[in-house]
């Protein structure tokens, strides 16, 4: 049985493979043990700056679906503030 991600990779570079869809890239990012990725920053800014929950950094956050979710971040419009 062939894993779906392993179809049609003939001649593909690893870069092409991991960037062929946002989901694939998000899976890779999510599989790395990143303590403080850019998605955490943008998540906090987008949701938790105004969050009502006590202890919002932990399990009380109302936005668990977007928290620690590289895919959510990949779909956000890029902001110019890299440096």
Residues that bind Zn ion (CB under 5 A): 48, 51, 56, 61
Of the two residues 26 and 56, which places its CB atom closer to Zn ion in the complex?
Answer: 56
Token pair for 71: 């895919």
CB of 35 to Zn ion, least distance (A): 18
Of the two residues 28 and 51, which places its CB atom closer to Zn ion in the complex?
Answer: 51
Residues 6 or more apart whose CB falls under 8 angstroms from that of 73 comprise 37, 38, 39, 42, 43
CB of 64 to Zn ion, least distance (A): 9
Comparing CA positions, the residue from 65, 37, 61 lying closest to residue 49 is 61
């Amino acid at each position: 049985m062939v894993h779906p991600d392993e179809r049609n990779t003939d001649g593909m570079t690893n870069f092409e493979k991991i960037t062929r869809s946002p989901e694939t890239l998000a899976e890779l990012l999510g599989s790395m043990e990143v303590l403080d990725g850019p998605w955490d920053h943008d998540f906090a800014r987008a949701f938790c700056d105004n969050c009502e929950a006590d202890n919002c950094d932990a399990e009380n956050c109302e936005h668990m679906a977007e928290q620690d979710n590289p895919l959510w971040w990949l779909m956000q419009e890029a902001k110019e503030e890299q440096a």
